[in-house]
Amino acid sequence: MSWKSPAVFLDRDGVLNRAVVRNGKPYPPASLEELEILPGVPEALGLLRQAGYRLLVVTNQPDVARGTQRREVVERMHHYLAEHLPLDGFYVCYEDGDACPERKPNPGLLWRAAQEHQLDLTLSFMVGDRWRDVEAGRRAGCRTIFLDYGYREKQPEAPEFRTTDLSAATRWILAFRNGTKEELCA
């Protein structure tokens, strides 16, 4: 039996970079010029990397299938993020509609990443800002963290931790790993 690594799966928009919010609903940036890495993200990812976590982006980008975004633009954004953040890979579903097994809330992207990177999903975390992220993590067997920005949309069911930024999520992950999770909940 070979040893498998833990991972932190990260949604892209609203977790790594600022989502564009219109009428209370989040949208991805339309261009590389609109892409803005959120404050504290590089530092948080650095701490997770030092703790031995693989860092993988899992993101739905259905605007490509809808024809309102070009795949090349999405890939340029991912290249930019990879240059500026310590990420181990990107897993993207470009489909629109829940029939695709890789489109969150389905866990296909996480399962594929786990197979390709030899990951232990039971030791891993999914961090996202929408119910689909939390549900995909739950279905894959990960612990789930919800970054709650108060969007006016469906809320996730029972994430294991709820916060408003990746820095707090990172502190929770590291405390959980060290067995001091209860201190953060007090």
- The pLDDT-based confidence of 1 (bands split at 50, 70, 90) is very low
**Is the pTM here over 0.75, yes or no?**
yes
DSSP the chain: ----B-EEEE-SBTTTB--EEETTEEE--SSGGG--BPTTHHHHHHHHHHTT-EEEEEEE-THHHHTSS-HHHHHHHHHHHHHHS---EEEEE---STTSTTSTTSSHHHHHHHHHHTB-GGG-EEEESSHHHHHHHHHHT-EEEEE----SSPPPS--SEEESSHHHHHHHHHHHHTT-HHHHH-
Note if 13 is an active site residue: yes
pLDDT value at residue 177 = 81
pLDDT value at residue 2 = 55
Catalytic position from the list 13, 63, 129, 133: 13
pLDDT tens sequence across 132-186: 999 999 999 999 999 999 999 999 999 999 999 999 999 999 998 877 654 444 3
Instruction: In whole angstroms, give the CA distance from residue 20 to residue 34.
Output: 9
pLDDT tens sequence across 107-132: 999 999 999 999 999 999 999 999 99
Contact 26, 20 (CB under 8 A): yes
Q: Which residues pair with 9 in a beta bridge?
A: 56, 126
pLDDT tens sequence across 67-106: 999 999 999 999 999 999 999 999 999 999 889 999 999 9
- Segment 27-36 mean pLDDT: 97
Q: Evaluate the CA torsion angle 109, 94, 169, 47 in order and state its sign.
A: positive
Please, what are the domains in the chain?
A: 7-185 (3.40.50.1000)
Tokens encoding 76: 């340029």
